Amino acid sequence: MTIVSADKVSASEGISRWWRRFTPPSVAILVTIALWWLATSVLSGPESLLRQTAPQRVVPALSGLIDRGVLLSDLGVSLWRLVIGLAVAAVIGIPLGLLVGLSGVAERAGGPIIAFLRMISPLSWTPIALALFGIGNQPVIFLIAVAAVWPVLLNTAAGVRAVDPGLLNVARSFHATRSELLIAVILPAIRTHVQTGIRLALGVAWIVLVPAEMLGVRSGLGYQILNARDQLAYDQVVAVIVVIGLLGFALDTAARWLLSPARRLRATSSNTLPARQRRR
């Protein structure tokens, strides 16, 4: 009779979980790349520009952009604009969301205006942004903020409306002032909603960033796409597009991990353990 140790069983279960988790996306990625290669290298004509966009030409194009010293610097500029635009959206959206959520009058008055403005494409504001700020970083940041402010505002307002009335009643029974209610009860209660709004805003801002960087600025990932297109270097166009997709995926994954409720719960649990138990 063969006795299987618990360590071996645990290791086999871990391998099985790893296999089930990573095999489907790996197969999907390989199939996607194969279809991409088939469309650009086999089905396209010998003189077609699509042949420049084949997957086997992406890595050399990326190497060329890095060797020229433009890709990393443009990536840094794009991330800087993204962070500033998100910060502006948060500074505007969170207070407005609190106002709309706390005040019925503000909600009734501002509801139609918010519904009207948030349905306008952020890129529709391009002529106004250029007229106000000229060419440079400011119009790009303005468009990012215009796109990102609505998820932050709406999620903040939804969080305020979802606060348990019992918590507010308990705080009022202790004669808490409005500022104390806001700081001690409402803000901690809406943290998850605000974080969700910021994560949604991050995705929207990243999508708007690239076309916004095609407004005459001479840096950023969007500018590199235009520059490569003007040179008919479509392999570089696709290389930058791949970088945009990978970086956007990485940003969303990082935001999802950082704002995960399970991670926050584990962190809270570990912080509440006795010191002796943590040392063990």
Give me the pLDDT at residue 153, please. Answer: 95
Extended strands (E) in the chain: none
Does 81 score more than 80 pLDDT? Answer: yes
Query: Would you mind telling me the total number of residues written for the chain in this entry?
Result: 280
Per-residue confidence band for 84, with pLDDT thresholds at 50, 70 and 90: very high
Among 63-67, 135-139, 152-156, 176-180, which is the least confidently predicted range? 176-180
Give me the pLDDT at residue 68, please. Answer: 84
DSSP 271: H
Give me the pLDDT at residue 13, please. Answer: 66
Give me the pLDDT at residue 269, please. Answer: 47
pLDDT, tens only, 109-124: 888 999 999 999 898 9
Give Cα 269 distance to the centre of its chain.
Answer: 27
Does 178 score more than 70 pLDDT? Answer: yes
pLDDT, tens only, 123-136: 899 999 988 888 88
Alpha-carbon gap, residue 196 to 86, rounded angstroms: 13
Per-residue confidence band for 168, with pLDDT thresholds at 50, 70 and 90: confident
Give me the pLDDT at residue 87, please. Answer: 95
pLDDT, tens only, 14-66: 677 777 777 888 888 888 889 888 888 888 777 777 788 888 888 888 888 88
Give me the pLDDT at residue 172, please. Answer: 73
Does 231 score more than 60 pLDDT? Answer: yes
Alpha-carbon gap, residue 210 to 212, rounded angstroms: 5
Q: What is the mean pLDDT of residues 252-261?
A: 78
Per-residue confidence band for 142, with pLDDT thresholds at 50, 70 and 90: very high
- Terminal-to-terminal C-alpha distance of the chain: 37
Give me the pLDDT at residue 174, please. Answer: 72
Alpha helices in the chain (DSSP H): 6-37, 58-67, 71-102, 104-118, 126-133, 137-161, 165-173, 178-181, 187-189, 191-212, 221-230, 234-258, 261-272, 275-279
Helix axes 104-118, 137-161, angle to 10 degrees: 140
Alpha-carbon gap, residue 101 to 159, rounded angstroms: 8
Per-residue confidence band for 94, with pLDDT thresholds at 50, 70 and 90: very high
Give me the pLDDT at residue 263, please. Answer: 53
Say whether 159 sits in a helix, a strand or coil.
helix
Q: What domains, with CATH codes, occur in the chain?
A: 56-274 (1.10.3720.10)
Average pLDDT, the chain: 82
Sequence letter at residue 240: V
Per-residue confidence band for 267, with pLDDT thresholds at 50, 70 and 90: very low
Residue located via tokens 């391998």: 15
pLDDT, tens only, 181-197: 777 788 888 888 999 99
